[in-house]
């Protein structure tokens, strides 16, 4: 079975072809970073228009890369949510239309299920059950995973997601868009222990997250250092030290909650996925955590951490095999709880 995957939930147009026997046959990705850079963040209308321009050419490129035609495709999978409504509708409309024109089944994929299953694309794939930490610009979730579609939400962010906190804090520090990766890079030059920020919601039971207060604490530190510099620019080392302290607070918080979730469930496998899962400091700390618990940590390769068509094609194939196909109507869900998905038996 071979599936074409289409991802257009935010600011990346991702197209891939996944074959059940051969694996990833084609992987095309276009990032809109340059388009949104002047605005310091994603502009939904511009994102939607750019997906319209790029999706069909990337599908053509993926078919050429895989050396196949529409006749070799057994189904078309597209991200139906969550995400930006306009961007989702581009992928859903194109995907559903292609499936109709090609007389193939269409599959609506949950964006976060795609991320959750991305480590399955690796040679060393996790076995069920496991705990998953999904960390991206829009979501921070801890999930018990007993199978595809068998999800129990253990904890989630009550305000800013981890990736969103990275981006907003980077903007406070004057870093260019996309800020999260730039802040992480700056943090590599920072010295530990000069600044100390809170580890939110770790002093009380539960597995939910909150990062807005951490962002405020960082903003206060920046303001204080600006005053000390006589309202001039904060020196580069101080900025790096603040970035280091912020990143360490986020990483520590995620690690504390992951350990708590693993002990709560009695599981010893941890899957980490989503854009923030590429963070080097986070991977190092979670790998140390799993070693201390005599467990294993699983991650997708970096190119599958951010939004991409490969994870959508893979998730779509699993759903297609179970007969979970879309009716003719085009539907998109900007909000779509992960635990509403049906199980794949």
Q: Which residues are annotated as a binding site for substrate?
A: 134-138, 167, 180, 279
Contact criterion met (CB below 8 Å) for 200 and 213:
yes
Strand partners, 18: 3, 24
User: Which amino acids are annotated as binding site for Fe cation, given as ranges?
Assistant: 111, 115, 307
* Residue (of 84, 91, 50, 63) closest to 316 by Cα position: 91
Residue 2 phi/psi, 5-degree rounding, is -135, 130
Contact criterion met (CB below 8 Å) for 207 and 260:
yes
CA distances from 108 to 212, 289, 321, 324 (A): 32, 35, 13, 8
User: Which amino acids are annotated as binding site, given as ranges?
Assistant: 111, 115, 134-138, 167, 180, 279, 307
DSSP 38: T
- CA–CA distance, 279 with 115 (Å, rounded to integer): 15
- CA–CA distance, 113 with 108 (Å, rounded to integer): 11
DSSP 108: E
CA distances from 131 to 59, 259, 274, 297, 302 (A): 34, 10, 14, 10, 20
């Amino acid at each position: 079975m071979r599936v074409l995957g289409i991802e257009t939930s935010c600011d990346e147009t991702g197209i891939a072809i996944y074959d059940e026997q051969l694996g990833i046959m084609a992987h095309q990705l276009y990032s809109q970073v340059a388009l949104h850079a002047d605005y310091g963040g994603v502009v939904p209308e511009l994102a939607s228009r750019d997906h319209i321009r790029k999706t069909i050419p990337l599908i053509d490129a993926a078919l050429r890369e895989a050396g196949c035609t529409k006749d070799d495709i057994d189904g078309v999978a597209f991200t139906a949510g969550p995400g930006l409504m306009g961007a989702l509708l581009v992928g859903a409309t194109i995907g559903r239309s292609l499936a109709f024109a090609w007389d193939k089944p269409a599959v609506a994929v949950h964006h976060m299920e795609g991320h959750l299953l991305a480590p399955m694309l690796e040679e060393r794939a996790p076995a069920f059950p496991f705990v998953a930490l999904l960390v991206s610009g829009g979501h921070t979730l801890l999930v018990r995973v007993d199978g595809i579609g068998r999800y129990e939400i253990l904890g989630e962010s009550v305000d800013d997601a981890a990736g969103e906190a990275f981006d907003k804090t980077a903007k406070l520090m004057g870093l260019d868009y996309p800020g999260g990766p730039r802040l992480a890079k700056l943090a590599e030059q920072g010295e530990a222990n000069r600044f100390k920020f809170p580890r939110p919601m770790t002093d009380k039971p539960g597995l939910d997250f909150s990062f807005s207060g951490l962002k405020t604490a960082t903003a206060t530190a920046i303001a204080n250092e600006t005053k000390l510099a006589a309202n001039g620019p904060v020196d580069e080392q101080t900025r790096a030290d603040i970035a280091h302290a912020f990143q360490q607070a986020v990483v520590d918080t995620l690690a504390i909650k992951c350990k708590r979730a693993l002990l709560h469930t009695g599981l010893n496998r941890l899957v980490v996925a989503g854009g923030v899962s590429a963070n080097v400091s986070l991977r190092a700390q979670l790998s140390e955590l799993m070693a201390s618990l005599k467990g294993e940590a699983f991650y997708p390769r970096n190119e599958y951490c951010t939004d991409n068509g490969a994870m959508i094609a893979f998730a779509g194939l699993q759903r297609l095999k179970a007969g979970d196909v879309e009716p003719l109507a085009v539907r998109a869900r900007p909000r779509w709880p992960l635990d509403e998905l049906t199980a794949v038996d």
